[in-house]
Amino acid sequence: MSRGRGGRRKKPEEGHGGEERWMASYMDMVTVLMCLFIVLYAMSTVDTAKFEKLKASLATGFGVEQSQTVDTAEGVIVPPEDAGQKGLLTNQDVAQDTREHLMKIAEAEKADLEALRRKIEKRLAATGHRGAADFTVDQRGLTIRLVSAETFFKPNSADLTANASEVLEAIAPVLAPTKRSFEVEGFADVVKPVDPYPTNWELSASRATRVLRSLVEDGGVRGNKIASVGYGDARPVPGKKNLALNRRVDVVVLSDQPENVRSLLPSVVPRS
């Protein structure tokens, strides 16, 4: 009997231990749920003013709200009747400000290129080669056309004449210190070449490369800032029939501005 009573006393103890384990799991679950709701509450806190501005801006951008003007800085809808008032910008105002900003950049870029041109002209004059190059500023940058003093190259040759070498020696010190990139473009006359050049493409490319080497090896221009290309006889000097003038090389000082700025360079007048 004592054993039976002893056995019956053990059963409540086992049940009591199971209840404790269940309560521990339950308390863990309640704790996790409480943390979850705290996080959800924290995430639900919104800056109402900023949210309204964002909502208005998105509504206009996606066409939900009709408006001719949007204050993009604040993200609010501007009624049409208020357009143009002090502190509010119309689409035309934004476009005008943008163009004026681009024009200022273009003016500064052209002024820099023109200053480079004047330095080259001064060097050419000082070395007895005044007028040895023609200059053009377009959307690519500053083109230095070496077309003076009869020829820069002998027929069917990529070897520089003495005059050409002197001209390159004069302009290299101006080009070398700049951080700009350059492109050397070679050209040929319409006379069909003979060995070792099968076509004028190879001849013109060889001439461009010869000038590039002179600028890099003798003039100090950085090799990673310059490239060469040959155009054969496909791009003769406009209005020129003299074969010698088409045995030439153009050195292009490339503009590093974006396209919308470079497109303004031909027409812009730099401020003095």
* 3-state DSSP of 87-155: CCCCHHHHHHHHHHHHHHHHHHHHHHHHHHHHHHHHHHHHCCCCCCCEEEEECCEEEEEECCCCCCECC
At 140 the pLDDT is 94
| Beta bridge partners of residue 228, listed in sequence order | 184
Pairwise CA distance, residues 32 & 38, whole Å: 10
How many percent of the chain have pLDDT more than 70?
Answer: 68
Q: Which residues of the chain have pLDDT under 50?
A: 1-2, 4-9, 67-68, 70-76, 88-89, 149
Quickly tell me which residue has 């273009």 as its tokens.
106
At 59 the pLDDT is 64
Quickly tell me which residue has 């005059």 as its tokens.
163
Question: Under DSSP, is residue 84 helix (H, G, I), strand (E, B) or coil?
Answer: coil
At 271 the pLDDT is 61
| CB proximity list for 256: less than 8 A, separation 6 or greater | 180, 181
At 219 the pLDDT is 93
At 7 the pLDDT is 47
At 33 the pLDDT is 85
Whether the full predicted model's pTM is greater than 0.75, yes or no, is: no
